[in-house]
Amino acid sequence: MKISILGSGSSGNATFLEVDGFKFLVDAGFSGKKIKEKLELIGENIEELGALLITHEHLDHILGAGVLSRKYNIPIYITGESYKVCAEKLGKISENNLRLVDGDFRLMESVKVTPFDVMHDAERTIGFKIENSRGKKLAISTDIGYINNIVREHFKDVNIVVIECNYDYQMLMSCSYPWDLKARVKGRNGHLSNTDAAKFIGDINHPGLEKVYLAHVSRDSNSYETAINTVRDELKRQCIEVEIEIAYQEKNTNIFKV
Ligand SMILES: [Zn+2]
Ligand SMILES: [Zn+2]
């Protein structure tokens, strides 16, 4: 299983995965051209992508999805609820390439995908748990307002975690956002704070956890340094040693394999 986060944040999200040789993206929130370039930077060819898995309909997750599906004949996996509200933005998707998600599915025979619902202010938002034929697992959720037991259950035994680490509470409260936006961000249907992400990582840590990516870090109410330091401090307090890496908005992470 290979992963490279091509970029993450409110200006675009896309994660490249190769599982049992099958290459696909989770979210396609940059332009098609940019995604092609980003893939080239990690030595990957866009024509080899076999699927686009979409978490929700916000533009920073779907921007290039329609174009890529049409141009390279790639199936889009999306919930019916999300599709309904972003069909126009996606543009025409051939019937064959529209795969409405409701429950577990497989990519090829061997790659098991388990979508799970998360709280966020979209029509419907899901995260994905992905498992290869050797039992290696990854869970990803980049826009999540609140960690409930369903989410916890899907993250508890994975080898790679991609979790939102959106804002620092003090920085959010003192940033220039209007009050209602601040309330939205910190609400249960908004985004996840550094401290909540840190506690969550502590809760789900187990000996098989090899890598944690902190994603969707806000430019306005957080900094990469604050995010990673908050998480590192909390894990240190709990005597947990696990590799933590930031998913940047502007650049991809190096390929990591389990
Ligand atoms: Zn987002
Ligand atoms: Zn969102």
User: All domains of the chain, ordered by start, with CATH?
Assistant: 2-251 (3.60.15.10)
Q: 110 C-alpha vs ligand 1 centroid, how far in Å?
A: 29
- Cα–Cα distance between 148 and 170 in angstroms, integer? 24
- Cα–Cα distance between 246 and 234 in angstroms, integer? 16
Question: For residues 52 and 28, is the Cβ–Cβ distance under 8 A?
Answer: yes
Q: 59 C-alpha vs ligand 2 centroid, how far in Å?
A: 8
Q: 35 C-alpha vs ligand 1 centroid, how far in Å?
A: 16
- By residue count, the chain amounts to 258
Q: Which ligand is nearest to the CA of 58?
A: 2
- Cα–Cα distance between 151 and 146 in angstroms, integer? 9
Question: For residues 145 and 188, is the Cβ–Cβ distance under 8 A?
Answer: yes
Q: Which ligand is nearest to the CA of 216?
A: 1
The pLDDT tens digits for 198-210 are 999 999 999 999 9
Going by pLDDT thresholds of 50, 70 and 90, the confidence category of residue 120 is very high
- Average pLDDT (184-201) is 97
- Average pLDDT (203-226) is 98
Q: Which ligand is nearest to the CA of 121?
A: 2
Q: 122 C-alpha vs ligand 2 centroid, how far in Å?
A: 6
Q: What is the pLDDT of residue 173?
A: 97
Q: 96 C-alpha vs ligand 2 centroid, how far in Å?
A: 26
Q: 82 C-alpha vs ligand 1 centroid, how far in Å?
A: 14
- Average pLDDT (205-223) is 98
Angle between helices 65-72 and 80-90 (to 10 degrees): 80
Q: 229 C-alpha vs ligand 1 centroid, how far in Å?
A: 22
Q: 241 C-alpha vs ligand 2 centroid, how far in Å?
A: 30
Q: 145 C-alpha vs ligand 2 centroid, how far in Å?
A: 10
The pLDDT tens digits for 93-104 are 999 999 999 999
- Average pLDDT (241-252) is 97
Q: 143 C-alpha vs ligand 2 centroid, how far in Å?
A: 5
The pLDDT tens digits for 135-175 are 999 999 999 999 999 999 999 999 999 999 999 999 999 99
- Average pLDDT (55-78) is 98
Cite the beta strand spans of the chain per DSSP E: 2-7, 14-19, 22-28, 49-53, 76-79, 98-101, 105-107, 111-118, 125-131, 137-141, 160-164, 211-215, 243-246, 256-257
Question: For residues 114 and 126, is the Cβ–Cβ distance under 8 A?
Answer: no
Q: 207 C-alpha vs ligand 2 centroid, how far in Å?
A: 31
Going by pLDDT thresholds of 50, 70 and 90, the confidence category of residue 81 is very high
Q: 13 C-alpha vs ligand 1 centroid, how far in Å?
A: 7
Q: 10 C-alpha vs ligand 2 centroid, how far in Å?
A: 8
